[in-house]
Amino acid sequence: MSEKLKILIIRYSSIGDIILTTPIIRCLKHQLNADIDFLTKKSFASLLVSNPYINDIHTLNDVNKKLIQILQSNNYDHVVDLQNNLRSLKIRTALKVNNHVYFKSNFKRHLLINFGVDLLKNHVVDRYFNTIKKLNVINDNKGIDYFINGSPNVEFNTKQEYITWCIGGTHEHKKLSCTQITEVISKLNMPILLIGGPEDKKIGSEIMKKANSDHVYNFCGKTSFEESAYLIKESKLVLSNDTGMMHIASAFDSPIISFWGCTKPSLGFAPYMPKKPSKNIITPISNKPCSKHGKYCKQNSKGCIKKISSELIYNTAINLLK
């Protein structure tokens, strides 16, 4: 009986990008019956620790001799490099096995952002699958995976119907304003949970104050990543900026409303195959992305996402809640 294939997947960061590798992990495991290891940054390892398709998670601080020796001792048959940078190149070079390297399409992104010419056409997950086509692994079209270990203890009754609103974002230009959110919240007659990191706690408090409602709960900075994921999983509807939490939401059964300003779904990072009917709301100013990661906006000093109508958000939410 032949030994199982051993495959190392490399993706160092960040939250959303790592979550978007989960269909690759699952399909490699199921279709090749392979042992799958994953190399990522220590700060992101918790995203994958409950994934049953992964044998071992290796963490990266730097590409040093000790890490190389550990990886070499595992005798991998293939490396699937979904990061494709200098540090992942060092790993591939040291392991000297079959490589499958993600092509980042930087020139196509440049054309889309600067000239509005869209040659990307597909989602980044589909591009990930192109990376492993020589392994004869195909997309099973089952979408994103995110596994939660049990039922985390959160100070909220998740048995009731409620909405989760992910108000954070890597850059300010990717976030809806406090005013946009409060205008919607004031019309919704349902408990609303605000989810975000410690850096979002202040705006969460401001939203609660302006909304002047006893059904708004500020969980920003108060829950672990897994607890936040659990609150998203159990919610009736998820609203989110372009964030990692948006991608986690697509693993669950709640419909998603996502908001797009400086970044656009055309870059290939929209919620992937959400389980329920969902909606991407794009700023009316321009269909063209302003920047790759939303660091700056070409259209508005505060971010063109701020031009999305609160009435449109409310009406979309009501339709998806039916």
Same structural domain for residues 131 and 186? no
Q: Give pLDDT, residue 260.
A: 97
Within a 10 A sphere around the Cβ of 158, how many other Cβ atoms? 15
How many domains is the chain built from?
Answer: 2
Bond into 254 cis (ω within 30): no
pLDDT in tens, 123-168: 999 999 999 999 999 999 999 999 998 889 999 999 999 999 999 9
In a domain, 148, yes or no: no
In a domain, 199, yes or no: yes
pLDDT in tens, 206-252: 999 998 888 999 999 999 999 999 999 999 999 999 999 999 999 99
In a domain, 109, yes or no: yes
Integer Cα distance of 251 and 232 in angstroms? 10
Looking at the DSSP assignment, which residues form a beta bridge with residue 40? Answer: 59
| Strands of the sheet with 56-60, listed across from one edge | 56-60, 35-41, 6-10, 78-81, 98-101
In a domain, 140, yes or no: no
Same structural domain for residues 195 and 302? yes
Same structural domain for residues 285 and 219? yes
Same structural domain for residues 59 and 17? yes
Q: Give pLDDT, residue 1.
A: 42
Within a 10 A sphere around the Cβ of 208, how many other Cβ atoms? 18
Domain that holds residue 205: 163-321
Same structural domain for residues 237 and 98? no
In a domain, 206, yes or no: yes
CATH of the domain at 254: 3.40.50.2000
Residue type for position 126: D
In a domain, 1, yes or no: no
Same structural domain for residues 124 and 171? no
- What is this structure's pTM? 0.94
> What residues in the chain have per-residue pLDDT under 50?
1
> Exposed e or buried b for every residue in 217-256, given b needs 16+ CB within 10 A?
bbbbebbeebbbbbbbbbbbbbbbbbbbbbbbbbbbebbb
Same structural domain for residues 170 and 315? yes
